[in-house]
Structure 1
Amino acid sequence: MTEAKAPKIVIKDVSKVFRLGKDYFQALDNVSLEVGESEFVTVVGPSGCGKSTMMNLLAGLITPSEGIVTVDGKEVDGPSPERGVIFQAYALFPWLTVRENVEFGLRSRKDISKAERRKIAEHFIEMVGLTQFADSLPKTLSGGMKQRCAIARAYAVNPSILLMDEPFGALDALTRVQLQSQLLDAWSQDKRTVMFITHDVDEAVFLANRVIVMAAKPGRIYDIIPIDLPYPRTDEMRLSPEFAELRNKIWKAVYHQDPNQTYDGPIGPQR
């Protein structure tokens, strides 16, 4: 009998309280979740439900008030190149070219030569379709190109986990759909573990193995919905009755929530 793999990410009994002057705000309340190796999960929920707080805890940018967050069995105690983070704001260095931005995270690696660093950068620049813009500065790029550059930079340092906080939120609809497909193409090649925050229910369904629906006041897991659609995902799939059924189920979970309900089902990845 094959032994089940330990989860890649474990969030166990986590609460987070922020101090706001003399007051306190509870962003997360007793959240537990497991994410498996190579799993792609999306997180949706109303504003103020703690989606970004959960992401920042995983990134090691903040610490929990209660509970524990672990990756590969080790407690998260700060940022790590093992966890690549991509935000809605592109956060590119404006004075560096696309190639130099993608190479930036590799500069601290003493075991990688300048030639190898360039080779790695060019591989991921090609992966996101920016080869002809490798020597361009960010100010000359469209929003979609800037975000593709940010994705290539995150991939270049070879993280085992990608944490993506509404990375396509500021893009036009067509660019957004194109980048969703490109992201899934990249994920299908190396199967990194991905947690992707979005406000777009269609995007959540199209990308994920599972959709985590959160509720607000305080932030908690409201439901976890498996997405039983085969990969590769196609544009035609977006028009299927199965897709529509899942979209409607998640939309209702996000916008018609019982304020007293808390998810009490299985927290781990699909088997």
Structure 2
Amino acid sequence: MAGAIVSTRTGQAPEPAKIAVSHVTKTFTLGRDRFVALDDVSLDIADNEFVTVVGPSGCGKSTLLNILAGLEEPTAGSALVDGAPVAGPGPDRGVIFQQYALFPWLSVRKNVEFGLKIAGMPRARRRERADHFIDVVGLTEFADVLPKALSGGMRQRCAIARAYAVNPSILLMDEPFGALDALSRVKLQGQLLEAWGRERRTVLFITHDVDEAVFLANRVIVMAARPGRIFDVIDVDLPHPRTEQVRLSPRFTALRNRVWNSVYHHEHGGDPTPPPTAD
């Protein structure tokens, strides 16, 4: 039940939900047709938890993120952040999409400073803060470079630094590494986890990549399509830091297979009851 006490890590005391989604349904009207993007979705996410969402196209992953970002309103149900209804975008939520959306005429530093400038932060303070988060994502030597001179992975790191700089308590990430090559993607996964470990934010991360979903998460949410709904929830008990040794471990393989089987099971007409957890 949304708003309930949740605990996702063994040995920790329960804590209030940072994000509480309760019986959310979202429908769209396309001409004479009515399309159900989300059907009765409920989900609690704890403070500082890293949750990934995976599922087929059309399962409502991005719609769920857009509702939490305040870019869409649910047709029914509620979405709460810190106990308050989501009522449009807000500085407590940083949103990062697959497209970098950087200002091409501004340097890395100026891009990261942009939100701070809008907020009225003094120049010296915003430069100090921008430089801190540029360092967090490993772009210090590129602080004065324009985005056109950066690789795709570096541009996405700049977007992440810009989101961190305005100090949101929640990061909403919609396939941010989807357009990158495999090596850049793996590197950014590690850097994102390193930044999360240092800065601690609540993260909801959407991906199509099962390996990525398992490697990053404390929990993986598997969604099903037609209509979009939560099909399975898998706790990820892998240790931190998430190294390449972790990625190659038998436990990672078991969890990866567990998530893959859940996604595949639904896509190929399986029973709506999730398959048993692999141990």
Q: Under a length normalisation based on structure 2, what TM-score does the superposition of the two structures give?
A: 0.91
> Using the alignment, how far apart are the partners of 2:47 and 2:158 within structure 1?
25
TM superposition shift of 1:23 = 1.6
What residue number does 1:266 align with? none
> Using the alignment, how far apart are the partners of 1:51 and 1:164 within structure 2?
11
What residue number does 1:224 align with? 233
What residue number does 1:31 align with? 41
Structure 2 counterpart of 1:55, from 59, 65, 77: 65
TM superposition shift of 1:98 = 0.6
> Using the alignment, how far apart are the partners of 2:25 and 2:41 within structure 1?
6
Pairwise CA RMSD of aligned residues?
A: 1.3
Q: Which protein, 1 or 2, shows the higher relative CO under an 8 Å CA cutoff with sep ≥ 6? A: 1
What residue number does 1:261 align with? 272
SS in 1 for 2:118: coil
SS in 1 for 2:17: coil
Residue by residue over 1:78-101, the C-alpha shift from the partner in whole angstroms, topping out at 9 and shown as x without a partner, is: 000100000000010111111111
> Using the alignment, how far apart are the partners of 2:175 and 2:14 within structure 1?
31
Say if 1:8 and 1:35, in contact at 8 Å, map to a contact too.
yes
* 1:262–1:21 CA distance, 2 compared to 1 (3 A): farther
Structure 1: gaps (5+ residues): 264-271
* 1:44–1:215 CA distance, 2 compared to 1 (3 A): same
* 1:248–1:4 CA distance, 2 compared to 1 (3 A): closer
Poorly superposed stretches of 4+, deviation over 6 Å = none
Identity rate of aligned residues, in percent? Answer: 66
Question: Map of 1:144-183 to 2, 5 A cutoff?
Answer: 144-183=153-192
Say if 2:239 and 2:246, in contact at 8 Å, map to a contact too.
no
Structure 2: gaps (5+ residues): 1-11, 275-279
> Using the alignment, how far apart are the partners of 2:141 and 2:79 within structure 1?
41
> Using the alignment, how far apart are the partners of 1:196 and 1:168 within structure 2?
10
What residue number does 1:89 align with? 99
| More moved, 233-242 vs 31-40 | 233-242
Specify the code of the residue in structure 2 equivalent to 1:96: L
What residue number does 2:9 align with? none
Residue by residue over 1:119-163, the C-alpha shift from the partner in whole angstroms, topping out at 9 and shown as x without a partner, is: 100111111111111111111111001000000000000000000
TM superposition shift of 1:228 = 0.8
> Using the alignment, how far apart are the partners of 2:80 and 2:272 within structure 1?
26
| More moved, 147-156 vs 189-198 | 189-198
What residue number does 1:43 align with? 53
Residue by residue over 1:199-225, the C-alpha shift from the partner in whole angstroms, topping out at 9 and shown as x without a partner, is: 110001100000000000000000000
What is the aligned length? 261
2:104 counterpart of 1:101: no
